[in-house]
Structure 1
Amino acid sequence: MFNWLRQKHSHQSSLVKLFEQTKQPAANTALNKVRFLVIDLELTGLNPRKDNIVSLGWLPIIGGEIVLAQAKHYLVKPPNGVGQSAIYHGLHDNQLTHANHLETILRELLTQYAGYVFVAHYSALDRQFLRTACKQHLGLAPSFRFIDTLRIEWQRLSQKNTLIAQDMLQLSACLTRHKLPKQPNHHALEDAYGCALLLLSQIKQCGKEATLKQLYKLSRA
């Protein structure tokens, strides 16, 4: 039995290492040549040490276009139930009885999207939860370098000397400011789609000659 567990953990660790070793696009890559994966998580709370992922949504952007045919939305059954967090994401324990195993979802994510540039709105939270989940279920945690649309928007507003209130950086407010359609809040795939629309608008504002290096620089604001 212990040999089987060791073999399983070794295989899972190899998956993470392969994901890490897959080359990312060069810094001077034009943005319309970059393959992005926009991802969003719904959570039972904000602490990755004690809270859990209850749903994931993602969709790729390839060649400057959102690939809806490859969009994915998964529900995840948390080990301790959703508790009061249901009032935010709208998911209840009875809806998650036959939900997906997080390990299976993580394996798909790392296998199919190695080499993609990951994107999220306020990526620090998604990154922390993904790293914690990978460490728990796969034995190792990738670094998960992200483009952050919230930080790009903060940079854009700062350059205009705009006084930035906290709610101005919420995804819905950003979509409104870019004259993009609002998406339902706290649904992982809908939020990922809204984030993808925002990213494409931000890329357009960067100009045709913009590179991945410039986008990363804006994302570190």
Structure 2
Amino acid sequence: MWEKLKQWLAPRPQVPDEWLTMPLAEIPFLCIDLELTSLNLKDTKILSIGWVEGKGKQIFMESCFYQVISTTGSLNQSPVIHGLTAQDIAQGQPLRISLEKLKQYASSHIWVFHCTALDMTVLNGVFRKLNIALPTVVTVDTLRFGLYQLTKNLRPPPPNAVVLPVCRARYNLPAVAGHNALDDAMATMELLYAQLQKFSPKTSDTLKSLLITDAVEVFTPQPIQDRKKTP
């Protein structure tokens, strides 16, 4: 109990000034989505990863990235949910290749997720497991952004009110087929732009204006310890 209290009381990392003062229209975003074998963070595996860049309410289609990841262990219900079979996974790439590419965006872009806590917990874990140092990352969470907009009137949101399809529907965004990492990344980017337009239509507003939503977070990974060599 005391350990949890200390974590809650610990000061949160501060967003670097260069991001805080940047106008929202000038921020380069990288929207990322992971497809996982389960929501159990202790043993979940990444099946596929997708991302897309955006800036100034534009989505850069040439930046689209999608990769199936070769992994081991049970796929659980993934063939039904994600459509990825054991044969697809066997033909995938090692996770390290995608992580090395993703790392290149850590300092140059703000990462966007629909549920940052889930995806960044998984990403932090695999970066450490593969001994890949990840710089500090600033993120925006469209789920928490949506929750803020729903609860401004102090009323609790209805069940499933902040899942991606329901959030999109509130902005009259078209329904999209889910459970594909790239499709979900693009759908999340569209949602972010709709949220920003409603929250802050002024082009002069900066990232600092979003702090009130609690959707902006800073992730500072712990240093990777040198592994002791066994004799």
What TM-score bracket applies, with the shorter chain setting the length? Answer: 0.7 to 0.9
How far the C-alpha of 1:159 sits from its partner, in A, is 1.4
How far the C-alpha of 1:139 sits from its partner, in A, is 4.3
Equivalent-residue separation in structure 2 for 1:26 and 1:151 (angstroms):
19
How far the C-alpha of 1:113 sits from its partner, in A, is 4.9
Would the aligned equivalents of 2:107 and 2:137 in 1 still touch at CA under 8 Å? Answer: no
Would the aligned equivalents of 2:33 and 2:185 in 1 still touch at CA under 8 Å? Answer: yes
Unaligned runs of 5+ in 2: 1-15, 217-231
How far the C-alpha of 1:145 sits from its partner, in A, is 3.1
1:170 aligns with 2:198: no
| Cα deviation 1:17-37 (Å, max 9, x = unaligned) | xxxxxx784312110010000
How far the C-alpha of 1:112 sits from its partner, in A, is 4.4
User: As a proportion of its length, which structure holds more strand?
Assistant: 2
Equivalent-residue separation in structure 2 for 1:195 and 1:213 (angstroms):
21
Q: Helix, strand or coil: the match of 2:151?
A: helix
User: As a proportion of its length, which structure holds more helix?
Assistant: 1
Equivalent-residue separation in structure 2 for 1:186 and 1:44 (angstroms):
12
Would the aligned equivalents of 2:28 and 2:55 in 1 still touch at CA under 8 Å? Answer: yes
Q: Helix, strand or coil: the match of 1:125?
A: helix
TM-score by length of 2: 0.79
Would the aligned equivalents of 2:107 and 2:136 in 1 still touch at CA under 8 Å? Answer: no
Unaligned runs of 5+ in 1: 1-22
Question: Alignment partner for residue 46 of structure 1, among 39, 47, 60?
Answer: 39
1:213 aligns with 2:182: no
Q: Which residue of 2 aligns with 1:86?
A: 79
How far the C-alpha of 1:194 sits from its partner, in A, is 0.8
How far the C-alpha of 1:48 sits from its partner, in A, is 3.0
Identity among equivalent positions (%) equals 28
Q: Which residue of 1 aligns with 2:173?
A: 180
Aligned pairs for 1:72-221 (under 5 A) are 72-205=65-198, 206-208=200-202, 209-220=204-215
| Cα deviation 1:105-141 (Å, max 9, x = unaligned) | 0001112453200000011100011101101113445
How far the C-alpha of 1:165 sits from its partner, in A, is 1.4
Equivalent position amino acid for 2:206 in 1 = T
How far the C-alpha of 1:195 sits from its partner, in A, is 0.4
Would the aligned equivalents of 1:131 and 1:142 in 2 still touch at CA under 8 Å? Answer: no
Equivalent position amino acid for 1:210 in 2 = D
Equivalent-residue separation in structure 2 for 1:110 and 1:217 (angstroms):
28
Would the aligned equivalents of 1:81 and 1:93 in 2 still touch at CA under 8 Å? Answer: no
Equivalent-residue separation in structure 2 for 1:62 and 1:113 (angstroms):
16
Equivalent-residue separation in structure 2 for 1:61 and 1:103 (angstroms):
24
